[in-house]
Amino acid sequence: MADDKSMGGSRDRDRVSAEEDSEVRHFANKVGLTVQQIRALIRQHGNDRKTLEHEAGKLRE
């Protein structure tokens, strides 16, 4: 059976998946924090990428 092109499994780019170590590492490198700091931010604020970027900026100040 052919793939259903209408059922595209696009990744959710506006979220950071705490379960994906590589995604957390990449985000940590991008914002200049440690993996542990990012995991703590996710626990406190959820996994919305914009919120995490904002909170990471506050930590770096």
Amino acid 50 reads K
Structure tokens at 52: 């995490």
Q: What is the pTM of this model?
A: 0.78
**Residue 15: CB atoms within 10 Å:** 14
Predicted confidence (pLDDT) at residue 5 exceeds the cutoff of 60? no
Minimal CA–CA distance to 40: which of 18, 8, 13?
Answer: 18
Predicted confidence (pLDDT) at residue 3 exceeds the cutoff of 50? no
Q: Mean pLDDT in the chain?
A: 86
Range 24-36 average pLDDT? 96
pLDDT of residue 11: 60
By percentage, how much of the chain surpasses pLDDT 90? 70
